[in-house]
Amino acid sequence: MVDNRILWRVLPDPIRDFPGDLAATVFVTLLVNVAVFAPVIRETPLRVPLGLVFVLFVPGYVFIAALFPEEGASPTDAQTDNTETLEGDHTDETADADDEGTIWDGQLRSGIDGIERVALSFGLSIAIVPLLGLVLNFTPWGIRLVPIMVTVTAFTLVTTALAAIRRWQLPPDERFRVPYREWLAAGRAELFEPDSNTDRALNVMLVASILLAVGVVGFAIMVPPQGEQFSAVYILTEDEENESEYVAANYPTEFTLGDSEEIVVGVDNNEHRTVDYTVVLLEQEVERADNETTVLEQNELDRFEARLAHNESWLHPHDLEPTMTGEDVRIVWLLFPDEVPAEPSTADTEYYVQLWVDVEDAQ
């Protein structure tokens, strides 16, 4: 078996020296792109937590890493390390501060510490991503999922490379690094080498609480509660001012037998599942009396089929050509999820839309 240390030495120097925190941001970026674009994974809720981490933290973190590649000291550490320096000549100290750091309230600071870095990462991410979206808004691609993902990913990777280069330009002992080894050692000692039985019991309770919280959050993300389940069907017409758009107005109500008008039927799927829809187009001769409508005769004019995923919509332009003549001929678009009865009618589905038209004989 090959020693892992030998394999590590074989790797090129840029890979071996690549900062671990920046490598983690690249890894998260790749995971998010897989979760968004992979055919099977993109249908799962996995992209929700990954997307939140990516959008709300990663761009700001790499931007801060590029701005502040050096290791920073917290105010407490700076005060401890520079007490003797600050007790000297105040004028000389202030002059040197411009080269080594900044003085606040008598404390010498160099760079930013970990807490400030995390806080600024969230704040800058919230500022950077909308700015990238604003720029996209003035491009032909617009603000859509694919352009947003490509733009934020490109910004993250380019800024990560810049941050790595700036760190490599510093001496090793001055570079910022995440002390994960120290954290792991401290956590292992706290969990497996407690000072007393009370500490051991508290550690077990803490771990159990963390696992329970992660499990509850994970379950809530992976199995979100379903909202109201419904479908919708509607009709539209072409906008007279903008032919590329449709409006819910200007419906044709007068026909001459043999003439046709274009109508657009729309279907929305909010069933929280993929559904095979069928739209049945009927014309009916009806009789209305005492607030009741009785169908005397009906003809099926056409059928349209569509397979829609949850939260997906479908628009289908078609020609409406009535064959019955008379006043108040009812045109009905019936929407059937999954199955269509042998003789479809408005009594068989709760999803339908209707249009009353007058049809004259051809002269």
Q: Average model confidence (pLDDT) for the chain?
A: 81
- In eight-state DSSP terms, residue 36 is H
Least confident of 219-233, 259-273, 322-336: 219-233
pTM score of the predicted model: 0.51
Is it the case that residue 30 has pLDDT exceeding 90?
yes
Show the domains of the chain with their CATH numbers: 4-222 (no CATH), 230-360 (2.60.40.10)
pLDDT, average across residues 351-357: 94
pLDDT level of residue 182 (50, 70, 90 thresholds): confident
pLDDT, average across residues 114-119: 82
304's tokens = 């349209």
pLDDT level of residue 226 (50, 70, 90 thresholds): low
Is it the case that residue 220 has pLDDT exceeding 90?
no
Is it the case that residue 191 has pLDDT exceeding 80?
no
pLDDT, average across residues 298-321: 93
What strand order describes the sheet that includes 254-256? Answer: 254-256, 352-360, 326-337, 275-289, 292-308
Q: Whose structure tokens read 């999803």?
A: 351
139's tokens = 């491009």
pLDDT, average across residues 163-184: 84
153's tokens = 């990913």
- What is residue 140's predicted lDDT score, i.e. its pLDDT? 84
- What is residue 109's predicted lDDT score, i.e. its pLDDT? 46
With contact defined as beta carbons under 8 Å apart, do 288 and 234 qualify? no
Output the CA–CA distances (angstroms, integers) from residue 50 to 18, 56, 70, 217, 221, in the order listed: 23, 10, 28, 13, 11
- What is residue 206's predicted lDDT score, i.e. its pLDDT? 78
Residue spans of beta strands (DSSP E) within 271-322: 275-289, 292-308, 313-320
Q: Name beta bridge partners: 277.
A: 306, 337
With contact defined as beta carbons under 8 Å apart, do 163 and 6 qualify? no
With contact defined as beta carbons under 8 Å apart, do 329 and 295 qualify? no
pLDDT, average across residues 290-301: 86
**Between 78 and 61, where is the model more confident?**
61
Is it the case that residue 336 has pLDDT exceeding 90?
yes
Task: Give Cβ neighbours of residue 201 (< 8 Å, ≥ 6 apart).
Answer: none
- In eight-state DSSP terms, residue 42 is G
Q: What is the rounded distance in angstroms from the CA atom of residue 46 to the CA atom of residue 51? A: 9
Q: What is the rounded distance in angstroms from the CA atom of residue 109 to the CA atom of residue 78? A: 6
- What is residue 63's predicted lDDT score, i.e. its pLDDT? 94
In 3D, which of 272, 271, 252, 249 has the Cα closest to residue 261? 252
Q: What is the rounded distance in angstroms from the CA atom of residue 121 to the CA atom of residue 25? A: 12
Q: What is the rounded distance in angstroms from the CA atom of residue 66 to the CA atom of residue 69? A: 6
Residue spans of beta strands (DSSP E) within the chain: 102-104, 107-109, 230-238, 246-247, 254-256, 261-270, 275-289, 292-308, 313-320, 326-337, 352-360
